[in-house]
Structure 1
Amino acid sequence: MKSIAVIGAQWGDEGKGKIVNYFARDYHWVVRFSGGANAGHTIYVNNKKYVNHLLPSIDPRTESLGFLGAGMVIDLEQLIREIETLEYDFPGIGSRFYIDPEAFAVLPWHKEQDRLLESMRKKPIGTTGKGIGPACTDKVSREGIKLYLLEDEPALKERLENMYTLKKELFGGRLGMNPEEMFGYLLSLRDKLIEIGVNFTSSIDLSKSFREGSVLFEGAQGVMLDLDFGTYPFVTSSSCTVHGVTSVGFSASELDAVFGVIKAYTTRVGSGVFPTEEDSSIADTIRERGVEFGATTGRPRRIGWLDLPAIKYAIARSAFTHLIITKGDVLSGLDEVKVCVAYEIDGKEKAVPSTSHELFKARPVYRTLKGWSSISDRAFAEYIQLIESETGLQVSHISYGPGTDEILKRSELFDR
């Protein structure tokens, strides 16, 4: 397959980074098309752990290249730290990353705004504090900094002065740097990126390379956190569906496959509705076994049973062609496992919600299955078959550990 996408089908943290890293060895390009440093994709290379918040999850041992698309909001300082971490083990890797100059910058002002706004809310959203929301707000209100301004210093200086004037009116003197300091800060980051070999190249200029080679699109967060279709307002500020690939000049219809990644259970970080959430001791057991703590924030993740109505909603919103299951091994050893197969909404049973708002009113309808001692057991195969029959999609791969190679094709597992 020349072009595929790997998308989170739940509330993020499904293990997409590992799945992308697994596929990346067979692709020339790995492309992040949305989101910012609020995402955390954990990969293992030569048994060493790396957490990418911005970098596409390329396999450093191959010749694959990474592209950060125009739909992203990029914290340049964080990006430099991630590249330098990889440079320690893979010298020269910075030159394998490309950034679209049409992408927007996340500024220290945005991070401070994020903290201020969260502290002012009567009911906090539970943001990561990485400045994503304010950066996207500036993008939409036409106040933001596109990265191509780093090469137009007079225009950059003027834009920063205009931004600061407005922000000072709104937030007083609580934003730290003045415009001159911010100007110097951004130019120093630009120079550092150039020094370590990062390329600023438009997706238009790379279009031929994308289409003549092979490209893997790496989603951020999950469909249930999508700005348009997630459980608003407890969502992120950008596109989490496959349709975000338009920011790189692609259409979802051009892709050969769209893989929706789901855990064998469900997790969520931060506030917001969570129909299958468990608050019993079983949640603590799953959290500890699955090491369910945010890659970006370190916060303990909320734990719940697998939610098939939410997954079917995600399938409808993001045009998945296959599913990939992660962490089935985490549930090994439980006597029984519950699966939400429908919602009760306003007294009526519903197999899939029509809108994200219906999740706020949903009561889960569960089916209880026999547990399994390992993913090789017949009971686990029946669990997978239930997912497939309910969703109408085949599970193509099953991940059973944190390592990149700890993954099996469906046929490899069940034929054994």
Structure 2
Amino acid sequence: MNTIICGLQWGDEGKGKIVDYLTETADIVARGQGGNNAGHTVIANNKKYILHLVPSGILWGDKTCVIGNGVVMDPVGLCKEITTLEEQGIVVSPEKLLISDRAHVVLPYHRELDAAREAALGNNKIGTTKRGIGPTYADKANRCGLRLADMLCEKTARDLLAVRLENVNERLKKFDLPTFTVDQVLDEVRPAIERLRPHVTNTIPTLHKAWKEGKTILFEGAQGSFLDVDFGTYPFVTSSNTTAGGACTGSGLPPHAIQRVVGVCKAYTTRVGSGPMPTENQEISDYFHNKGMEFGATTGRPRRCGWLDTVLLRFAVMVNGVTDLAVTILDGLDERETLKICVAYDIDGERHEFPPANRDQWDKATAIYEEMPGWLEDTSKARSWDELPENAKAYLNRLSELVDAPIKYIGNGPGREQTIIV
């Protein structure tokens, strides 16, 4: 059974934990979009691993990991990540990690362009990680980007960079930012490209061969559905399709190769960066931050926190075709006496059960809540549905009912063993 795992909120839903849990029965774990702006935290064997580009399957000794064509790859950042993993005792060999030769490359000037764009937007900034992801995807769409296959040939890379840098430097000069020469760019990335060369291949035939042989492929989504460039809270989104469809276009496998879509959400709502968030609550944010929780795995920024928003989840379940829900960090609500669930938005006196497209409506959206009693018990030691408090089960059942999807997995702590199968 080939499975896509996708986030149903604004990222940081705990996908890494669910991917890691499901990897035990997978042969291949693949990434199909995003870049090192994503961060997956996995606790395995009492160690904490933070992954950005490398699929979580790397933590298992017998799995093949694939970085697909839809990913934008910072070669220097990837090499640093590989080095960190190897220092932690993880083997990252060319047999274990395959990288698509069609993946676009994040280059030094992309990071400068990212920072320049954020500065120009002022108070309307998107809140990007400034890692060059947006400008790299923009180059891809504008057909002026460089792919790994281009970077493997020095002459091709030089020729393409010479043309691209004319426009890039012109834009950077307007912001009084440093400009680049071809040699500067190549000198910075060449060692990383050479280190990665043994990993680079045409990953599409590899995935198709595995599919035809009946092997199990797990697609690890990055970020969340409401950062999707089409379905998210535009323009406060990323530059790729973070929803289930992105796994197919970003890997080269067709839709009929997928049998299951696992949608991951927290038992509450969080967001990093700018943009609307109708259930945001300062008291809830302070509560989690004071517990040392909810800081971005990639940026370290404190996450904005709020009550569970089923308006978002209802829509995300639809566009992803979710077959199974995974609800994480249930234990984060253990000490809350009363819980709220947003069931709809009030916009200018009208009830909305799906998120709006209009930017002005997002600014006016007010959460309509249902209240439920908390359980005030430690759920972190539960290992089955029956061991959960009755009020916790009622909360989860109401979530499932409101979004019209069955709950299959419950995360009640960071460890692999703290995953309940329903």
Whether the 8 Å CA contact 1:232–1:356 is kept in 2: the answer is: no
> Which amino acid is 1:14 matched to?
E
Residue of structure 2 in register with 1:367 after alignment:
370
Whether the 8 Å CA contact 1:29–1:210 is kept in 2: the answer is: no
Residue of structure 2 in register with 1:395 after alignment:
407
What is the alpha-carbon distance in structure 1 between the residues aligned to residue 348 and residue 212 of structure 2? 48
For residue 236 of structure 1, the aligned residue among 229, 235, 238 is 238
Residue of structure 2 in register with 1:271 after alignment:
274
Alpha-carbon shift at residue 185 of structure 1 (Å): 2.8
For residue 352 of structure 2, the aligned residue among 347, 350, 356 is 350
> Which amino acid is 2:186 matched to?
F
Alpha-carbon shift at residue 190 of structure 1 (Å): 1.5
What is the alpha-carbon distance in structure 2 between the residues aligned to residue 133 and residue 22 of structure 1? 31
Residue of structure 1 in register with 2:333 after alignment:
331
Q: Does 1:282 align with 2:281?
A: no
Residue of structure 1 in register with 2:319 after alignment:
317
CA shift in 2, pair 1:386/1:69, >3 Å: same
% same residue: 38
Residue of structure 2 in register with 1:385 after alignment:
397
> Which amino acid is 2:259 matched to?
D
Whether the 8 Å CA contact 1:113–1:175 is kept in 2: the answer is: no
What is the alpha-carbon distance in structure 1 between the residues aligned to residue 347 and residue 243 of structure 2? 25
Whether the 8 Å CA contact 2:372–2:395 is kept in 1: the answer is: yes
Residue of structure 2 in register with 1:201 after alignment:
202
Residue of structure 2 in register with 1:118 after alignment:
118
CA shift in 2, pair 1:204/1:370, >3 Å: same
Query: What are the equivalent positions in structure 2 for 1:18-29 lying under 5 Å apart?
Result: 18-29=17-28
Aligned CA-pair RMSD: 1.7
What is the alpha-carbon distance in structure 2 between the residues aligned to residue 259 and residue 316 of structure 1? 12
Whether the 8 Å CA contact 1:258–1:319 is kept in 2: the answer is: yes
Whether the 8 Å CA contact 1:34–1:220 is kept in 2: the answer is: yes
Alpha-carbon shift at residue 186 of structure 1 (Å): 2.9
Alpha-carbon shift at residue 45 of structure 1 (Å): 2.3
CA deviation map 1:15-40 (0-9, x unaligned):
00111011112111100000001100
CA shift in 2, pair 1:311/1:155, >3 Å: same
The SS at the match of 1:51 is: strand
Residue of structure 1 in register with 2:224 after alignment:
222
What is the alpha-carbon distance in structure 2 between the residues aligned to residue 61 and residue 72 of structure 1? 22
Alpha-carbon shift at residue 205 of structure 1 (Å): 4.2
Whether the 8 Å CA contact 1:226–1:239 is kept in 2: the answer is: yes
The SS at the match of 2:25 is: coil
What is the alpha-carbon distance in structure 1 between the residues aligned to residue 61 and residue 90 of structure 2? 13
Aligned length, in residue pairs = 406
What is the alpha-carbon distance in structure 1 between the residues aligned to residue 269 and residue 199 of structure 2? 37
Alpha-carbon shift at residue 174 of structure 1 (Å): 2.4
For residue 257 of structure 1, the aligned residue among 253, 257, 260 is 260
Whether the 8 Å CA contact 1:12–1:222 is kept in 2: the answer is: yes
What is the alpha-carbon distance in structure 1 between the residues aligned to residue 58 and residue 79 of structure 2? 18
CA deviation map 1:117-171 (0-9, x unaligned):
1111132111111111111111111111111012222111011111111111221
Residue of structure 1 in register with 2:97 after alignment:
97
Alpha-carbon shift at residue 83 of structure 1 (Å): 1.2
Residue of structure 2 in register with 1:158 after alignment:
159
- Normalised to the residue count of structure 1, the TM-score between the two structures is 0.94
Q: Does 1:134 align with 2:149?
A: no
What is the alpha-carbon distance in structure 2 between the residues aligned to residue 156 and residue 59 of structure 1? 30
Shifted more, 288-297 versus 270-279: the winner is 288-297
What is the alpha-carbon distance in structure 2 between the residues aligned to residue 190 and residue 4 of structure 1? 31
Query: What are the equivalent positions in structure 2 for 1:184-199 lying under 5 Å apart?
Result: 184-194=187-197, 197-199=198-200
Residue of structure 2 in register with 1:413 after alignment:
none
Alpha-carbon shift at residue 354 of structure 1 (Å): 5.4
Q: Does 1:108 align with 2:108?
A: yes
Following TM superposition, the consecutive aligned residue runs of length 4 or more in structure 1 with deviations greater than 4 angstroms are none
> Which amino acid is 1:271 matched to?
S
The SS at the match of 2:42 is: strand
CA deviation map 1:295-350 (0-9, x unaligned):
01000000110000110111121111111000110110211000001111231112
What is the alpha-carbon distance in structure 1 between the residues aligned to residue 254 and residue 376 of structure 2? 43
Alpha-carbon shift at residue 178 of structure 1 (Å): 1.3
Unaligned runs of 5+ in 1: 411-416
CA shift in 2, pair 1:228/1:304, >3 Å: same
Alpha-carbon shift at residue 381 of structure 1 (Å): 0.4
Residue of structure 2 in register with 1:405 after alignment:
417
The SS at the match of 1:58 is: helix
> Which amino acid is 1:370 matched to?
P
What is the alpha-carbon distance in structure 2 between the residues aligned to residue 55 and residue 43 of structure 1? 12
CA shift in 2, pair 1:6/1:91, >3 Å: closer
CA shift in 2, pair 1:60/1:51, >3 Å: same
Alpha-carbon shift at residue 260 of structure 1 (Å): 0.6
What is the alpha-carbon distance in structure 2 between the residues aligned to residue 30 and residue 235 of structure 1? 25
CA shift in 2, pair 1:350/1:174, >3 Å: closer
Unaligned runs of 5+ in 2: 380-387
Whether the 8 Å CA contact 1:40–1:53 is kept in 2: the answer is: yes
CA shift in 2, pair 1:67/1:175, >3 Å: farther
What is the alpha-carbon distance in structure 2 between the residues aligned to residue 151 and residue 77 of structure 1? 14
The SS at the match of 1:121 is: helix
Residue of structure 1 in register with 2:150 after alignment:
149
What is the alpha-carbon distance in structure 2 between the residues aligned to residue 251 and residue 347 of structure 1? 43
Whether the 8 Å CA contact 1:39–1:220 is kept in 2: the answer is: yes
